[in-house]
Chains A and B, each alone.
Chain A
Amino acid sequence: MRPWRLRCLMAALAVLTPTASQAHLVTTRLGDFYDGALHPMTGFEFALPWLALVILAALQGPARGRWLILAFPIGLLAGATLSAWLPGLSFVQFVNIAAIAGIGLLVALAMQLPMAVFLGLSLLVGLANGYENGEAMVFNTDRFLFICGVTAIGYTFAVLALALATSFLVGRGGWRTIALRAGGSWIAAVGIMVAGFQLSGLYHT
C-alpha cells in the first residue's frame, strides 16, 4: 500500500472510531422538536405504556383499534401542553406506572373493551404520558416545538406499531395471540413491581 493511501486510511480510522460523549443523553442538539421526539425513548416508563396500548388496540380488531391513532396523539398533545401550564402534578407519575400494569393485564387477558372505554383509556394514557414527557421541558426549551415533537413521535409510533401488531395477528397460527398476551403479562409484571415500589415511597425520578 502506498504511504499516502495508508495515511488516508489511518486518518479515516481515526475520524470514524471515536463516538460522541454522552454526558447529557436527553439533549439531541438537533433542536427542541427532536428533543421532544426522542424524549419518550429515554426511559422504559415512557415506552412501555405505548407498547401495551398498541398491543391492546391490535387485540380489539382493526375497526376499533384504529381509533388509537386519533385518540392517543390528542392525549399526548393535551398532556404535554398541560405540563407547561400546570407543572408539578406528582400523581401523574403513578398514573403512568399504573397504566403499565393495568393495560398489561388487559393485554394478558386479551380483554375486549367497549369502544368508549378503549377511547377513554387511550386518551388517559396519552394524557399522563404526554404530561410526563412535557415535564422534561426546561426554561429555555421551545415548548411549541418540544410538544410537537412528542405528539409527532406518538402519532408515528401508533401508526407503525399498530400496523405491525395487526398484521402480526392476521397471520396463521393461534400462537400469535398467545405471544402478544405473554408480552402483556411481561409488561404487567414490570408495572406491578414498579407501582409497588412507587407506593412504598422509595421510588423517585
Chain B
Amino acid sequence: MKGIGIQPALAAAALFALIEPALAHTGTDTVFGFQTGFLHPISGPDHLVAMVAVGLWGAQLGAPAIWILPITFPLVMAIGGVLGVVGIPVPFVETVIALSAVALGLVVALRLRPPLWAAAVLVAVFAIFHGYAHGRELPGAADPVGYGVGFVVATGLLHLAGILIGTLTRRPLGAQAVRACGAAIACAGLFFLVT
C-alpha cells in the first residue's frame, strides 16, 4: 500500500471500527431487564416445550380454546409470579414444571379433548408454577417491569409458535406431525423429570 501515512490511517480506522458505546451503568437499564426476562422462558427448555405445548393443544382443540388457553395462561401465570416475587414458598416447582411438559405433551399426543373448563384448569395450574419460577427472578432484575414484559412477551410468542405449528392439524399428515410433536414434548418432560 503506497502513500504517506496510509498504514497508520488503516490501523487507526481499524481501532475506531472496534469502538462500542460506553455504557456507564451496564445491566441496570430497561433494555437489560427486558432482555433478561425475555430469555428466561426461552433459555429454559422445560419452560419452552411446555409453552409450545399449550399453543399446540389450543390449536388442536380449536375455537374457543385456541384463544382462551393462551389468554388464561399469562393471567394465571401472573398470580404465580406474585407468589414468587413475594417469596411465598411453593413446593416442587421444578418437578411440576417438568410434569407440565409431560402432561401437556401427552394430551397433544393422545389428542385428548376434555371440556373447555377442564383444559383451562389444567393449563392454569401449571401456569402458576411457571409464573412462580419466573417471579422468583423478578426482584433481582435490573428493571422489574422490563423483566416482566420480557418474560410475558416470550411466553406469549411461544404460545403463538405452538398455535402456528398446531394449524397443521387441518391436514391429515399435519395432524399426525402435531401429535408427534406432543409425544416429543412429553419425552422431553420425562427427561427433565428424571434428571
Chain B interface residues toward A at CB < 8 A: 1-3, 6, 9-10, 12-13, 16-17, 19-25, 29-30, 34, 67, 70-72, 74-75, 77-79, 81-82, 85-87, 131, 135, 138-139, 143-146, 148-149, 152-153, 156
Contact = CB atoms under 8 A, between A and B. Distances in A.
Interface in A1-58: 3-4, 6-7, 10-11, 13-14, 17-25, 42-45, 48
A191 B19 CA distance: 38
A11 B78 CA distance: 52
Interface residues of A, number: 42
Contacts of A11: 9, 13
Contacts of B17: 13-14, 17
3 closest residue pairs by CB, A with B: A196-B82, A23-B24, A3-B3
Contacts of A7: 3, 6, 9
A194 B16 contact: no
Nearest to B146: A44
A185 interface: yes
14 contacts: A17-B19, A18-B16, A18-B19, A20-B21, A23-B24, A44-B143, A45-B145, A48-B149, A97-B145, A185-B71, A188-B74, A189-B78, A192-B81, A197-B86
B156 A186 contact: yes
Contacts of A89: none
Interface of A: 3-4, 6-7, 10-11, 13-14, 17-25, 42-45, 48, 97, 105, 108, 178, 181-182, 185-186, 188-194, 196-197, 200, 202-203
Contact of A189 (B6, B77, B85): B77
A22 B85 contact: no
Contacts of B13: 10-11, 13-14
A195 B111 CA distance: 38
Nearest to A20: B21
Contacts of A17: 16-17, 19
A201 to B, nearest CB: 10
Contacts of A23: 22-25
Contacts of A182: 67, 70-71, 156
B78 A14 contact: no
A114 B30 CA distance: 36
B85 A25 contact: no
A192 B75 CA distance: 8
Contacts of B21: 19-22
Contacts of A178: 67
Contact of A43 (B10, B30, B135, B156): B30
A190 B19 contact: no
A192 B77 CA distance: 10
Given A13-B13, A14-B16, A44 B74 contact: no
